[in-house]
A = this chain, B = another copy of it.
Amino acid sequence: MSTVENQLEELQSTIESEVPNDITITEVRYEGPELVIYTRDPKRFASDGDLVRQLASQLRKRITVRPDPTALSSPDDAEAEVTEVIPDEAGVTDLDFHIDTGEVVIEAQKPGMVIGRHGTTLREITQETGWTPEVVRTPPIESSTVKNVRNFLKQERNERRDILERIGRQIHREEMSDDQWVRITTLGCCREVGRAAFILSTPETRVLIDCGDKPGSEDEVPYLQVPEALGSGPSSLDAVILTHAHLDHSALVPLLFKYGYDGPIYTTEPSRDLMGLLTLDYLDVAAKEGRAPPYESEMVREAIKHTIPLEYGDVTDIAPDIKLTLHNAGHILGSAVAHFHIGDGLYNVAFSGDIHYDDTRLFNGAVNDFPRVETLVLESTYGGRDDYQTDQKDSERKLKHVLKNTLERDGKVVIPAFAVGRSQEIMLVLEEAMRKGELPEVPVHLDGMIWEATAIHTTYPEYLRDDLRERIFHDDSNPFLADQFNHIDGGEEERQEVADSGPCIILSTSGMMEGGPIMSWLEHVGSEEDSTLMFVGYQAEGTLGSRIQNGRREIPIGGRNGRGSSLTLNMDVKTVDGFSGHADRQGLENFVQTMNPRPEKVLCVHGDERSTQDLSSALYHDFNMRTFAPKNLETFRFL
């Protein structure tokens, strides 16, 4: 009998001896990192609010209780009972009963009202029906991504259970090695921005953190082919951790499945959905540009199927000797600092991913408070000695000033923006300014993936900044639902209409003007002298955005069909800095300075050579810690 079987038998005995005598346990099994307890008496379980919490704390496991199929009322009966228990104001939009696991997935506009204070309503549902409720939010703005992901996971439910059981056994396997060491191998994004990928390894376990592409460079992908990455086979990886969904961290995660990986991806729920959105678009763009995409869309689905979503703060066993906890990173929706607790108090490593240290309108600042941490792997995008950014208040003042001037002369403002993150930040500034009368109330048109990305933001308000979340939860004043926001979903015709009407604001992808609907907007509005083209994000060298910033006014258009014509840009061109999703140099130093506890070692990564070395030497001098600016393909050993 395998040791996992033994473990499960022992766990079942312990649980049986801990729960009241009249509760029957029929099975105990692992599903991913969770221990699932099947019982014939789910109602009795639910009636003791502390029982599960006590078991979890005693067994040091995440625990889910499910009814044994024999204990279930029929879905029809249960539906009536569930509807009875949940208050109407919760706005239930879907009930989905799964007889095999005794779970009912409840989609509701106000999940909080389905859960109830401290989970009382959830327990009441189980007490009444025996079913285990699982609650998801009905997207306030319809999101095809969220809908597709949910439908897909529903359809793949059985296979997913098998996957989770296999992963569960892998996680809880017996430790084999007496040796003790912790290593980090750099496979990308060292002395460069892009192709984030690291391996964290112990004698027992190997995990991959991120697997991104390098914007502007098709050839430079993470060094996956070296022996210490996938050279010893994709099954030598225990887990993949995705810190956030931006392509320079996520683009090649689905490729791992093409290579034969079939283990878990740990990330937040919004990162999973955004990864789906962004990687499918990535394949789309490759196809449109006539490049062979590195993998098929099927692989994106595999990645989603293998994702185990974690909430911030959940301490999760991902291997016999590693516990993972994700914490808010303040960078984009669902972005995380990944904290690894290795061995039983042996060593702790935190990977910052991309962080914003100060609060922004959208997000709380990055978490830098951990039970323990000896080594920090820190992004350094703005780590250079002069990389200080304008204060956000000043930036917003300047933004509103430009907008006001243009709108007052009946012009339009066209803002090229990244779909995820900066667009929503600007939307919040616009909504507030119009609500407070600082700006005239004009339509704000959202084109490209911005609307869809915003819809995903509204689906996960738990991941937004405290006061924004409170507004959405309690005041029914979700700023993203403000009337002035219009989704451009009518193609060229609608754009023509907008162009023909009065003053307005247009946010459109792509953020660096490398294709996308922003090119149409240039054709429609580019010749208007009273209108303004406003940059709010970093424009990489060589992009059209950068060339326009540098004074170019002859814009090639319609290149796709081969008839290379051009237009003359008459718009006013402005740049407003300070809306970056990255901490600036001061923010990075503050993150380290106030970090609790202060790490012993810092690896400065995810920045060009100058930035990583500047930051590395500054942290060494200011805080007397051991710092490094690694190259790609190096391995550092700790312990």
Contact = CB atoms under 8 A, between A and B. Distances in A.
Copies in the complex: 2
A633 B183 contact: yes
A542 interface: no
Contact of A228 (B181, B226, B631): B226
Contact of A227 (B228, B632, B633, B637): B228
Nearest to A219: B178
A229 B637 CA distance: 15
Interface string A174-202: 00000001010100000000000000000
A189 B219 CA distance: 37
A549 interface: no
Interface in A194-231: 206, 226-229, 231
A635 interface: yes
Contacts of A388: none
A229 B232 CA distance: 10
A629 to B, nearest CB: 12
Given A227-B236, A231-B227, A637 B634 contact: yes
A636 interface: yes
A243 to B, nearest CB: 23
Contact of A635 (B231, B232, B236, B634): B634
Contacts of A228: 226-228, 231, 635
Interface in A427-477: none
The A contact surface, by secondary structure, is mixed
Contacts of A181: 633
Contacts of A236: 227, 231
A634 B633 contact: no
A183 B226 CA distance: 12
Contacts of A206: 227
Contact of A232 (B183, B231, B633, B636): B231
A204 B114 CA distance: 59
A232 B228 CA distance: 8
Q: Which of A227, A228, A636, A637 has the most CB of B within 10 A?
A: A227
B635 A633 contact: yes
A631 B634 CA distance: 13
A631 B601 CA distance: 15
Contacts of A637: 631-634
Contacts of A226: 228
Interface in A595-634: 631-634
Contacts of A632: 637
Contacts of A631: 637
A631 B182 CA distance: 12
Given A227-B228, A232-B232, 4 more contacts: A227-B232, A232-B233, A633-B635, A634-B635
A-B CB proximity, top 8 nearest: A635-B635, A231-B232, A227-B232, A228-B228, A631-B637, A227-B228, A232-B232, A634-B637
